[in-house]
């Protein structure tokens, strides 16, 4: 790095909130001295389920996606339970998650394994100073509630209240095993959706990102592991779209709806369930760029340029090359008679797309966009190399 360039990057290496996060993990080892009682283990198991429900039904499906409606009282209860997991305020969480869906697995995504690696996507991103602020514009619908803004300012209050209750009920073992152990378990189960659910699993839908369905994660996260389903239709209260896709959060919300606690639970349309929905332009463009990236435009442009010079065909003008590339779009390899490198055909792009993507009615649109993007890239690089 040049000495004249300010080294601002290192000011953002690790936000100080990483220190209490590490201490919470180290505190779990205090069970060696406090002992492990059955009462504390029962508290740990109960708090894991309750707080995971706060994450899935609260942070995620309600505050981030508004997948159902509820009263203002239960809204506050959900926020309190969610924040008792010590994952910052519901406004911060929802703002970051909405940003994630806008830029999923692009360079602008706050926690994509594709660009910054597994460890960063799992937990590292949380502690970077750039991610500490809350974009209230993205959560204007939530910021209108004074009680949610109060919780936003006192984001750790619910966690401290819960920790104190655990100590009062079961002493030091209740605090360490009941509270700290369940906190760490909820942390990493939640973080696995950002990391593992974008790396391991199956893709039923073309979503323009790396989201995957993972049945094991779905069991640990009360249904959040059906992540590719979720990215295909984000506002659905149910993320396990098939009857056999276990989604405990949805089951609990369904029971609550019987008592009028929640209502207007949104469901994916039949067209989505049948995987017959037309994809949006943003998804098509992202998928097309991914497909085009399977073919090396730079190598092809370099090979064409080198072949032209070797064959002493430098007199061939660039507009003619453009015509040749345009003809390639129709499956005509016009470079054959010039003994130049073969341009991939649209049929080859289609075959690659069928191998890469799940079934979708928009496959031809993806292929057309990808092929045009590829040829445009070759054209641009031919201008450079010539």
- 226 beta partners: 213
Please state which of the ranges 46-55, 70-79, 84-93, 275-284 shows the lowest mean pLDDT: 275-284
Phi then psi dihedrals of residue 249, to 5 deg: -60, -45
Helix H or strand E segment including 69: strand 69-70
Question: pLDDT per residue over 115-165, tens digit each?
Answer: 889 999 998 898 888 888 899 999 999 999 999 999 999 999 999 999 999
Q: What is the rounded CA–CA span in Å between residue 108 and residue 152?
A: 25
Q: Please report where in the chains the tokens 């072949």 appear, as a residue.
A: 307
Q: What pLDDT, on a 0 to 100 scale, did the predictor assign at position 319?
A: 44
Answer yes or no: are the C-beta atoms of 284 and 357 closer than 8 Å: no
Q: What is the pLDDT of residues 332-372, one digit of tens each?
A: 454 555 555 677 888 888 888 888 888 888 888 988 888 88
Spatial neighbors of 46 by CB under 8 A, at least 6 apart, are none
Band of residue 311 on the pLDDT scale cut at 50, 70, 90: low
pLDDT at 328: 59
Of 31-45, 77-91, 93-107, 287-301, the range with the lowest mean pLDDT is: 287-301
Q: Is 34 helix (H, G, I), strand (E, B) or coil?
A: helix
**What is the C-alpha to C-alpha distance for residues 317 and 321, in angstroms, rounded to an integer?**
7
| pLDDT more than 90, % of the chain | 62
pLDDT tier at 1 (50, 70, 90 boundaries)? very low
Name the token pair of 386.
């010539």
**Cα 372 from Cα 364, distance rounded (Å):** 12
**CA distance linking residue 25 with residue 288, whole number of Å:** 42
Per-residue pLDDT tens digits for 314-333: 445 444 555 656 665 554 45
Secondary structure class of 294 (helix, strand, coil): coil
77 exposure class (CB count in 10 Å sphere: 0-12, 13-18, 19+)? middle
Neighbours of 300 (CB within 10 A): 22
- Cα–Cα dist 206/350, whole Å: 15
> What tokens does 5 get?
């360039």
223: left (phi over 0), alpha (psi -120 to 50) or beta: left
Q: How confident is the model over 166-173, as a mean pLDDT?
A: 96
Least confident of 86-100, 118-132, 166-180, 239-253: 118-132
């Amino acid at each position: 790095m040049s000495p004249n360039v300010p080294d601002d990057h290192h000011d953002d290496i690790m936000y100080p909130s990483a220190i209490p996060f590490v201490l919470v993990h180290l505190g779990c080892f205090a069970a060696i001295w406090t002992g492990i009682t059955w009462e504390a283990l029962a508290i740990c198991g109960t708090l894991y389920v309750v707080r995971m429900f706060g994450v899935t039904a609260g942070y995620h499906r309600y505050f981030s996606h508004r997948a159902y409606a509820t009263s203002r009282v239960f809204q506050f209860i959900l926020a309190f339970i969610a924040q008792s997991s010590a994952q910052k305020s519901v406004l911060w969480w929802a703002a970051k998650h909405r940003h994630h869906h806008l830029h999923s697995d692009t360079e602008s995504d706050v926690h994509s394994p594709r660009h910054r690696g597994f460890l960063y996507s799992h937990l590292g991103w949380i502690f970077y100073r750039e991610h500490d602020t809350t974009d209230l514009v993205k959560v204007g619908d939530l910021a209108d509630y004074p009680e949610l803004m109060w919780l936003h300012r006192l984001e750790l209050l619910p966690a401290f209240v819960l920790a104190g209750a655990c100590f009062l009920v079961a002493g030091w073992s209740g605090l360490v095993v009941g509270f700290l152990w369940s906190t760490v378990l909820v942390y990493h189960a939640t973080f696995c959706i950002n990391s593992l659910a974008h790396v391991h699993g199956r893709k039923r839908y073309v979503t323009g990102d790396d989201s995957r369905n993972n049945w094991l994660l779905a069991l640990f996260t009360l249904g959040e592991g059906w992540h590719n389903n979720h990215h295909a239709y984000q506002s659905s209260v149910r993320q396990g779209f098939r009857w056999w896709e276990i989604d405990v959060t949805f089951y609990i919300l369904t029971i609550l709806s019987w008592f009028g606690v929640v209502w207007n639970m949104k469901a994916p349309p039949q067209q989505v369930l049948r995987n017959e929905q037309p994809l949006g332009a943003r998804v098509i463009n992202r998928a097309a760029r991914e497909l085009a990236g399977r073919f090396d435009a730079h190598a092809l442009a370099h090979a064409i340029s080198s072949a032209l010079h070797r064959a002493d065909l430098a007199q061939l003008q660039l507009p003619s090359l453009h015509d040749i590339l345009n003809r390639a779009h129709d499956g005509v390899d016009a470079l054959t008679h010039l003994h130049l490198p073969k341009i991939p055909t649209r049929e080859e792009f289609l075959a690659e797309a069928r191998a890469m993507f799940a079934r979708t009615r928009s496959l031809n649109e993806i292929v057309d966009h990808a092929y045009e993007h590829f040829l445009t890239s070759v054209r641009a690089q031919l201008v450079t190399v010539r």
